[in-house]
Amino acid sequence: MSTAEVVLVTGGGSGIGGGLASAFHARGHQVIVVGHRRERVEAVAARHPGMCWQVADVADAEEVAALAEEVGCRWPGLTTVINNAGVQHLFDFAASGPLDAAELGREIDVNLKGVIHVANAMLPLLKTQPRSRLVNVGSGLGYVPLAAAPVYSATKAGVHSFTLALRRQLRDSPVQVVELIPPVVATDLHRHLEETPPMAMDLDAFVKAALAGLDAGRDEVVVGLAKVLRTLSRAAPSLGMKIVNQ
């Protein structure tokens, strides 16, 4: 990629998205952080002079289409989209009675449909550049699911499959389709838990490793313990399930 990038980061108001946005900004790139909570993306941009922000809910296809139109007008040189927005809840299907259908649907709408909406809306812009990239953020849980977070795990498996198919379709285009696959990272994605998950990777360390993989031009950037889960999913899936869910 060129030294002068225009980078859009969904879910940029906190966590991995905020960390990546800050790192790209530190490199001198034009960064646009996107989130559905104005106060969060506005605060991130305020801490980084020159960073811009936009409000959009990736689960809403019309809002994403409007975002793409705005980006195309204001930042026609868009080169990188970090498709990162995500939510995670714990759902126990063994409990008595049905779970909240709206909460189940929201997680699917953000984590999977949102990735698809953003790709659909932003790819026409990315295709106009000599070189560009779409980075879909998956998860090690897309390889081996966490039983306590079954919907999240399923959506990340879906992101993995979608990314593989998209890469195949766009192999003759100027757009590189990348999957960035984190392990558990110490962010507020896990704010519903009483404590940070064991062996969670430090956010700064994750961002450093992620950028190294992106700089190397890899199609899959698998970071930290996610590499172990990828191997176990292929070589010893039962062992992987045991380790993740113990």
**Residues with a known catalytic role:** 152
Rounded to whole angstroms, the Cα distance separating 7 from 1 reads 11
- Asked whether 81 and 118 are in contact (CB, 8 A), the reply is yes
Q: How far is CA 117 from CA 89, 121, 174, in A?
A: 21, 6, 20
Per-residue DSSP letters for 33-77?
EEES-HHHHHHHHHTSTT-EEEE--TT-HHHHHHHHHHHHHH-TT
* Side chain identity at residue 137, one-letter code: V
Cβ proximity of 112 and 158 under 8 Å: yes
Radius of gyration of the chain (CA): 17
Phi–psi pair at 61, nearest 5 degrees: -60, -35
